[in-house]
Amino acid sequence: MYTIVTGAAGFIGSNLVEALNARGVDRIIAVDNLTKADKFKNLVDCEIADYIDKTEFIDRLLAGDFDGEVDAIFHQGACSNTMESDGRYMMDNNYRYSLALLDWCLDQDVPLLYASSAATYGGGGVFREQRQHEAPLNVYGYSKFLFDQIVRQRLAAAGSCRSQVVGFRYFNVYGPRESHKGRMASVAFHHYHQFRAEGKVKLFAGCDGYVDGAQRRDFVHVADVARVNLFFLDHPEKSGIFNVGTGRAQTFNELAVANVNHCRALTGLPALPLDELVRQGLIEYIPFPDDLRGKYQSFTEADLSKLRQAGYDAPFAAVEEGVAQYVQWLSRHG
């Protein structure tokens, strides 16, 4: 039997492969699109049974090649570029592909654990897994939102006798194995490289009623994301759509301060407070981009009530802890 991870060479997918390996699972079929070939580096230290291109995989899956051979599918593959303007591509890649996997998993009684997104909530201030709070701001968010609606319909129609289907609404994930994402890599990743290259971190000036750098997001470390995935793998009786964040919004200022101070610590320099980092030019505020107005989430904070009710009680790393770990990892991996 195989465990399948789509988007396996990507950010969250490769961290899931690593986490599965850590518990002794190596009969993994890694599914991805290596048009951007550098992603292969994310799997170099991982053990897998096979690699299959995403288009070949869905064709083979629907042709019956994997019937009776799969324990679970972690569906992490998607176009995650929130600025993508090609709606046809986004819907085909994120919605139609996911729908084909859902139909197959329900037919085969195979658990499907898939990546949704906090982008489904849009600019609202309530981040609870309920339809009235969902209003995506871009076609990426809509592609995730629409698939979530189909999942809800299928789960409701299936009643109590159903396969496991779990959607994870990831908030702002950061951590190892994301360098291939380029401009779509986490803010924590860009802060680290800005500081190493320029000696300072750049933050957006105030917008939407927030002062400079005070926009707030729920930043969650990828190791915590992997742990949530594996919790549900271990509890196949649990289905639904769940937020995956820390449950605590923190400012971009806090993120930058943690990054700069841990970078300084690598060279033996002391930590400094925000006002001193700004005074010394180590944190700089730049004008808010016009092309992001009306498309930007200035505040996100996962409501973890449903996740906690499902039995997941492990703590999540705050920015201060998670960024410290990430800076150390980045310093070791160039």
Residues designated catalytic: 140, 181
Q: HEC string of 240-267?
A: EEEEECCCCCEEHHHHHHHHHHHHHHHC
CB 30 within 8 A of CB 5: yes
Cβ 299 vs Cβ 249: under 8 Å = yes
Tokens encoding 71 = 């324990």
**At a CB cut-off of 8 Å and minimum separation 6, what does 167 contact?**
114, 115, 116, 147, 148, 151, 240, 241, 242
Q: Which of 172, 87, 84, 91 is nearest to 127 (CA)?
A: 172
Rounded Cα gap, residues 73 and 23, in angstroms: 17
DSSP for 155-186? HHHHTTS---EEEEEE-EEE-SS-GGGGGGS-
Burial environment of residue 38 by CB neighbours within 10 A (0 to 12, 13 to 18, 19 or more): exposed
4 is written with which tokens? Answer: 């399948």
Q: What secondary structure letter does DSSP report for 295? A: S
d(CA 173, CA 223): 9
Decide: 28 and 17 in contact? Cβ < 8 Å: yes
